[in-house]
Structure 1
Amino acid sequence: MQKKPGRRIWKRVLWGVAIVLALLIGGFIAWTQIGVMQADPEQLASVRENSAITVTDAEEGIVLSPAGGESDTGLVFIPGAKVDPWAYAAILQGLAEDGTTVVITRPWLNLAFFDPRGLDAFTSAASDVSVWGVGGHSLGGVRACQLSADADALVLFASYCANDLSSSGLPVLSLAGSEDGLSTPEKVADARDQLPADAQMVEIEGAAHASFGDYGVQSGDGTPTISTEEMHAEVTQLTTDFFAPLAP
């Protein structure tokens, strides 16, 4: 008994759709792995040589902790899209030096939106920490806003929330850059109403989007006029001061 022509046509159409979907999915996955912005080797070397902190390449992420002592406060930090997580180690090492454990996550497919894990998947890296903040850079900050319901504080690097936290009562530190060509000061200001009224909003003069990590120049960004050393020092001071009153 021969198959009806209509059934053969539908079978071919379905196979064609399946092949196209497979190619699209495969192409997207390949795109997420191509062009990942790598950590600056010199800045990364400064982290590995820093005797004031302990660096652990753990299952939960890259853990920066104060050397020789326990920590009461911690920060789970989510990288920007297609940025090597190690690119944030240098700018966050000062926070670890001052007593706050930092866990830099490794988002699935290098994109925070495709990582469904909850905050506890990362805080398990430091069981001694009792107060946890969550933060991130760019797209990582948007994801951090979504996870903030389980956190004690929120830190945004060149980012803003897409969900409403205005009535959350959450302590928030939002750092922007005057020369940011991606998360521009205007975009950050436009999303200000998503944050609590007492959120600390700081615009760092001379900072571009890529100034909040150490991974080189980023397409579409502005030109920074602040040095790497000055940027690291300012971010360390601002984040340390923010976490100080949160310690138990």
Structure 2
Amino acid sequence: MTSPKRPHSRARRIITITLLSLVGLLVVGGVGIVIWSQVGVMDAEAGPLAPVNQDDRVVVSDAGGNVVMSPSSGESTVGLVFIPGAKVDAEAYEAKLAGLVTEDGMTVVITRPWLNLAFFDPRPLSTFTDAVPGIDTWLVGGHSLGGVRACQLAPDADGLVLFASYCANDLSESGLPTLSISGSEDGLSTPKKVQDARSLLPADAQFVEIPGASHASFGDYGPQAGDGTATIDDADMTAEITASVAELLPRL
């Protein structure tokens, strides 16, 4: 005579099947995120990069997998850790940030976020600042979603610069020297969104809205879905960014 199956054996099988199903879903979800993060990445345009690579005032190098731009001569004491927008190549920002090196004497570290998305990159600010020793003062900043991540890292920095972005965490009581640079024609980080999040920044934060600048004007990666139409040219955009950041430096 066959003995009946014990209830706890059946329960163990159900638990095992459930756990295996959950693990399978997590694996499938993880693979899906990795694949999605690599689809639609906005590459740097070759044209704007060429003058930077040919400029003997700028040294472009690699440090820990990140792009580093530094002055070829003179001492650089202020650095900027810059976090790209979602799915945008680090090199796409070199031309627009080059003026910070040539005119303001800064060192710029453009990070390469994990999975091309800053939200999936848990590394602290020190990961990037330690890669470039000798800098006394560090700003942190970023474009679009990269700026949102920069806000999270800002308590460990000496200042914050937002490029077509705004914070999701409250820094209003931080006393941190802060600059927000936005564009009048930005269809993504719109002027209204920037102003609606103003209360999350220190009361003395500086705000600069560049006339004619769109969301994609802050980099060189081509047009972006949902964005406005830029009426400012690349040279003027670079000059506006350079001059705006220069005004923040005395506050550091």
TM-score range, shorter chain: over 0.9
Counterpart amino acid of residue 181 in structure 2: L
Find out whether 1:75 has 2:58 as its counterpart: no
Find out whether 1:22 has 2:11 as its counterpart: no
Counterpart amino acid of residue 11 in structure 1: T
Shift of 1:246: 4.6
**Which aligned pairs between 1:1-248 and structure 2 lie closer than 5 A?**
4-59=9-64, 61-98=66-103, 99-243=105-249, 245-246=250-251
Aligned identity (percent) is 59
Counterpart Cα distance in 2 of 1:161 and 1:59? 27
Whether the 8 Å CA contact 2:63–2:132 is kept in 1: the answer is no
Shift of 1:227: 1.1
Counterpart amino acid of residue 12 in structure 1: I
Whether the 8 Å CA contact 1:62–1:103 is kept in 2: the answer is yes
SS of the aligned residue for 1:187 comes to helix
- Structure of larger gyration radius: 2
Shift of 1:54: 0.7
Whether the 8 Å CA contact 1:76–1:135 is kept in 2: the answer is yes
SS of the aligned residue for 2:97 comes to helix
Shift of 1:144: 0.7
Once the two structures are superposed, residues 178-217 of structure 1 have per-residue CA deviations (whole angstroms, 9 ceiling, x without a partner) of 1111110000000000111111101111111111111001
Q: Gaps (5+ residues) in structure 2?
A: none
Whether the 8 Å CA contact 1:60–1:124 is kept in 2: the answer is no
Q: Which range is displaced more, 145-154 or 57-66?
A: 57-66
Counterpart Cα distance in 1 of 2:96 and 2:232? 14
Whether the 8 Å CA contact 1:134–1:147 is kept in 2: the answer is yes
RMSD (Å) for aligned C-alpha atoms: 1.6
| Number of residue pairs the alignment of both structures matches | 246
Whether the 8 Å CA contact 2:80–2:108 is kept in 1: the answer is yes
Whether the 8 Å CA contact 2:100–2:106 is kept in 1: the answer is yes
Q: Gaps (5+ residues) in structure 1?
A: none
Counterpart Cα distance in 1 of 2:14 and 2:110? 51
Whether the 8 Å CA contact 1:103–1:125 is kept in 2: the answer is no
Shift of 1:90: 0.6
SS of the aligned residue for 2:194 comes to helix
